[in-house]
Chains A and B, each alone.
Chain A
Amino acid sequence: MQNPHILEMKEISKEFTGVKALSNVSFKVGQGEIHCLVGENGAGKSTLMKVLSGVYPHGTYTGDIVFEGQVQSFTRISDSVKAGIAIIYQELALFPDLTVYENIFAGNEVKNGAVVDWNRTIIKAKEMLRKVNLSVNPEMLVKDLGVGKQQLVEIAKALSKNVKLLILDEPTAALNEDDSENLLELLRELKKQGITSIMISHKLKEVIAIADKVTVLRDGRTICTLDAAKNEISENVIIKNMVGREIEDIYPKRSGQQFGADVLEVRNWTAYDPRLGRNVAENLSLHVRKGEIVGIAGLMGSGRTEFALSIFGNPKDYKLQGELLMNGKKMNFKSPRDAIEAGIAYVTEDRKGDGLFLIQDIKQNISAANLQGVSARGRINLNEEVKVSNEYKKSLNIKAPSVEQIVGNLSGGNQQKVSLGKWLFVGPSLLILDEPTRGIDVGAKFEIYTIMNKLISEGMSIIMISSELPEVLGMSDRVYVMAEGEIKGELTAAEADQEKIMKLATQ
């Protein structure tokens, strides 16, 4: 082969009204390799991929894209698709109410003249599904598949368009360990078939496991490209290049804390979801002491979030059985408001979906769950609201020009801090954090861990639900492992390790 590089991006710069998102980024991808792109949030990874795929058309950036030896000037996404580039976003772009085969060929229909040939579509869809090792009936509706399988459908869709370069933006962010492993395996297989992949990921373990090359971006610049063949790739090296500093230990130490009495106790707790027709939580018993961080580990779909919702005033209207005690007193919450008043706060897993008011500003978000705290007789003291929000902005280190900033325009880490601020302002005694560091960068993670430690030292209790085992192990005083809606085991910080947790979680 003449040119070993399928893609070369040369000196790419891109500006958004005064903000330089990319400055002179150069980036080469070899034919048939798996190239990982890493960097903190806002480093420019997604912007770079949007330039490549034509979301930002030719002319709105400077620099050259050379794909298969030719300078390309994509003016729209369909141009890049035609050239053989497919991009799969973190938020999947499938039609939930259409079937698998309709989704695979959406926009690329198998036609007989002007009419869609559905029979041939189904046959071809089956072929594509085989290629991605997905054994589902192509006539199933996409909404009935799990996230992991939906991701595979998305890849099958890309393959149906004769893709040469596959770009995956955080493909495993929403997947459990099994599905993630499957996906990585699939990428390796596609590589054998000659398909080049670019993967953006925050999960460094995966990156290390799969990458032939790793390019690190920071602040819109290329920092380095590491080569697996030369043994250059390791977690420490990547992190060092990502943040520009060494993080000695990303889990801040805390020492000698004393646990008090039980803040929360749940006995024989069962939650039945009438929509699913099954128990999402079954016969759970657990307790949380004052000043303690209790981790709830488990794979996605193990019922962790459902359990948290069922004790947080049961907004999904599950049928509940069992007892819930706060500080030894039996409680019966009818709505989240009751739970909030009893001292529980719940930072949701999906901060954009059900956590934040994205079109409102920081102060309105921070006060949203506790407007009483800034008002008298139903009237809001708008100045007090700004003052309180500024205090949280400062103490949580929310990076924004002012508390009048619209939350939708903040980065993931800052959004998470706003979400945290909103719930801290409620003044809870028990804080439930559901995937508190999902999709946020290493620096912001460290800040959130530090805040957690400070909160328990002040006597708060925390339940932390997390899919990231190192996080569970690094932060928890005690760990419950959940699977299939049940608690499969309880481990102290001393006895817990990754193998034990995984074993319980996959029982």
Chain B
Amino acid sequence: MKLLNEAKTLIKVNIRDYGMYIALFVIMLTFSILTDGLFMSSRNISNLIDATGYIAVLAVGMTLVIVIRHIDLSVGFAAGFLGAIAAILLTQAGVPVYLTIPIILIMGIVVGLFNGVLVAHLGIPAFVASLAAMLIFRGALLRVTEKTGTIIVKDEHFNAIGNGFIPSLGKLGNLNLLSLLIGALIIVLFIYFEISKRNNKLKYNFEVISKGMFAVKLVFVSAIIAYITWILAGYNGFSWTVVIVLIVVVIYHFLTTSTVIGRHIYAVGSNPEAAHLSGISVKKITYFVFCSMGLLSALSGILFTSRLQSATTTAGTLFELDAIAAAYVGGVSAAGGVGKITGSVIGAVVMASLSSGMNLLGVGISYQYMIRGGVLAAAVIFDVITRKQRA
């Protein structure tokens, strides 16, 4: 029973990190039981993930913004506005998709640069600066959609980003072959990276978890990936949204955990004065984080416009608050310096699961808001309590 004890201590030490996964598991299990398995059906999960995508990418960017002790309220309408510009470029200007997307992404970076100048250069509190930007983008969105109202996008390729699926390359039973292959590839890569990480640690003579525990972990995570793949493959396979979100998460996860710039971001968040004296340029980091936020806002705008296959006058309303909520639910600390990309994405999935599950159960929208508010409060309370215990 050594293994069981090891598992117990591992969970105890990492309760903050695992808490979010446990919460997600409990929520999914509860809804599955309440809906007789409808919640975990291929179709529902596929929809749920696609509907989370445009919030998830915002939550990823917002994590970094909150980590460096700022906030960005402009992301919702920035996404709405940039999404509308994308629609205009595609329809009225006739710009092809492969040009539209990079143009919008670059515009996103420019938007971030604008916030960056206000916050990093002029020293305006981010709350105020981004509130101003939010109003400006809201106005700009109305301005560009004023004449036409809703702009319908007919470009198939563009609309596939939010609604389409990767090609199947044939079927295995009723399962999507390519998706299965990709799922298998992810598992192989995961196992490969974990083993090489462990071997590297052993090379340095560092302590590692026991072989048994390591095997349990590999099997456990692989099983989860396999299960999700199997569910998605049973419907239309992986959607393009899933692929895009996965790529964003992998890049940002790598950036925050393994790169110099990532570490500098956390250093600035945990003590800006000390960071400055350690030779880190707080200004540059602030610019970087806001530009990355702008880029992801643009991506979010593209995902949302393509999902609706149109740009509307109210696109992006309250996205910023959903993203902020996802980040806090995902364990990002309001005091700065603490927060994980994976946590925030899980936070976004938790919030989306609640909506989706309650929709299936026919819970009224009024109760849905209250319950989601309660979950947000509970997550932050959990965070505060576990932090106290650690200190």
B interface with A by C-beta (< 8 Å): 200-201, 203-204, 206, 258-261, 263-264, 266-267, 270-271, 273-281, 337-338, 390-391
A interface with B by C-beta (< 8 Å): 312-313, 315, 335-337, 339-341, 346, 348, 353-360, 364, 367-369, 371-372, 375, 378-380, 382-384, 386-387, 406, 408-409, 422
Establish whether residues B204 and A369, one from each chain, have CB atoms under 8 Å apart when the complex forms: no
A356-B260 contact, Cβ under 8 Å, with A336-B276, A337-B281, A368-B278:
no
B261, B277, B338 — which one has the most chain A CB atoms within 10 A of its CB?
B277
CA distance A409 to B203 in the complex (A): 30
A387-B204 contact, Cβ under 8 Å, with A356-B271, A360-B337, A371-B264:
yes
Which of A369, A383, A384, A406 contacts B279, CB < 8 Å? A369
CA distance A380 to B270 in the complex (A): 19
Give, as a whole number of angstroms, the nearest-CB distance from A49 to chain B: 20
Establish whether residues B337 and A357, one from each chain, have CB atoms under 8 Å apart when the complex forms: yes
Contacts of A355 in B (CB 8 A): 274, 277
Give, as a whole number of angstroms, the nearest-CB distance from A391 to chain B: 12
A-B contacts besides A340-B278, A354-B277, A357-B267, 19 pairs, CB < 8 Å:
A315-B276, A340-B279, A354-B273, A357-B337, A359-B337, A359-B338, A367-B263, A368-B274, A371-B264, A372-B260, A375-B259, A380-B263, A383-B203, A386-B204, A387-B204, A406-B390, A406-B391, A408-B391, A422-B278
CA distance A439 to B241 in the complex (A): 55
Q: Can you name 10 A-B residue pairings with CB atoms under 8 Å? A: A354-B271, A359-B338, A360-B270, A368-B280, A369-B279, A384-B204, A386-B204, A387-B204, A406-B391, A422-B278
User: Which residue in chain B gives the minimum CB-CB distance to A313?
Assistant: B279
Give, as a whole number of angstroms, the nearest-CB distance from B181 to chain A: 29
User: Which residue in chain B gives the minimum CB-CB distance to A423?
Assistant: B278
Contacts of B271 in A (CB 8 A): 354, 356-358
Establish whether residues A335 and B281, one from each chain, have CB atoms under 8 Å apart when the complex forms: yes
Establish whether residues B204 and A364, one from each chain, have CB atoms under 8 Å apart when the complex forms: no
Contacts of A341 in B (CB 8 A): 279
Q: How many A-B residue pairs have CB under 8 A?
A: 89
Establish whether residues A378 and B273, one from each chain, have CB atoms under 8 Å apart when the complex forms: no
Establish whether residues B277 and A383, one from each chain, have CB atoms under 8 Å apart when the complex forms: no
Establish whether residues A368 and B260, one from each chain, have CB atoms under 8 Å apart when the complex forms: no
CA distance A336 to B274 in the complex (A): 11
Contacts of B260 in A (CB 8 A): 371-372, 375, 378-380
CA distance A353 to B270 in the complex (A): 11
Establish whether residues A383 and B274, one from each chain, have CB atoms under 8 Å apart when the complex forms: no
- Top 7 A-B residue pairs of the complex, sorted by shortest distance between their CB atoms: A354-B273, A337-B279, A369-B278, A357-B270, A340-B279, A371-B260, A383-B204
CA distance A341 to B280 in the complex (A): 12
Contacts of B266 in A (CB 8 A): 360, 364
CA distance A221 to B264 in the complex (A): 43
User: Which residue in chain B gives the minimum CB-CB distance to A356?
Assistant: B274
A382-B258 contact, Cβ under 8 Å, with A340-B279, A348-B277, A369-B278:
yes
A358-B270 contact, Cβ under 8 Å, with A383-B200, A386-B204:
yes
Establish whether residues A368 and B338, one from each chain, have CB atoms under 8 Å apart when the complex forms: no
Give, as a whole number of angstroms, the nearest-CB distance from A17 to chain B: 9
A353-B273 contact, Cβ under 8 Å, with A380-B263, A383-B206:
yes
Contacts of B390 in A (CB 8 A): 406
User: Which residue in chain B gives the minimum CB-CB distance to A386?
Assistant: B206
CA distance A372 to B263 in the complex (A): 11
Which of A356, A368, A369, A380 contacts B259, CB < 8 Å? A380
Establish whether residues B274 and A354, one from each chain, have CB atoms under 8 Å apart when the complex forms: yes
Contacts of A406 in B (CB 8 A): 390-391
Contacts of A367 in B (CB 8 A): 263
Which of A346, A359, A360, A386 contacts B277, CB < 8 Å? A346
Give, as a whole number of angstroms, the nearest-CB distance from A459 to chain B: 23
Contacts of A354 in B (CB 8 A): 271, 273-274, 276-277
Give, as a whole number of angstroms, the nearest-CB distance from A248 to chain B: 37
Contacts of A386 in B (CB 8 A): 204, 206
A348, A360, A379 — which one has the most chain B CB atoms within 10 A of its CB?
A360
Contacts of B280 in A (CB 8 A): 337, 368
User: Which residue in chain A gives the minimum CB-CB distance to B333?
Assistant: A359
Contacts of B278 in A (CB 8 A): 336, 340, 368-369, 422
Give, as a whole number of angstroms, the nearest-CB distance from A425 to chain B: 11
Establish whether residues B276 and A383, one from each chain, have CB atoms under 8 Å apart when the complex forms: no
CA distance A408 to B260 in the complex (A): 22
Establish whether residues A378 and B261, one from each chain, have CB atoms under 8 Å apart when the complex forms: yes
CA distance A353 to B274 in the complex (A): 7
B260, B276, B278, B390 — which one has the most chain A CB atoms within 10 A of its CB?
B278
Establish whether residues B391 and A315, one from each chain, have CB atoms under 8 Å apart when the complex forms: no
CA distance A375 to B259 in the complex (A): 8
B206, B279, B338 — which one has the most chain A CB atoms within 10 A of its CB?
B279
CA distance A297 to B328 in the complex (A): 48
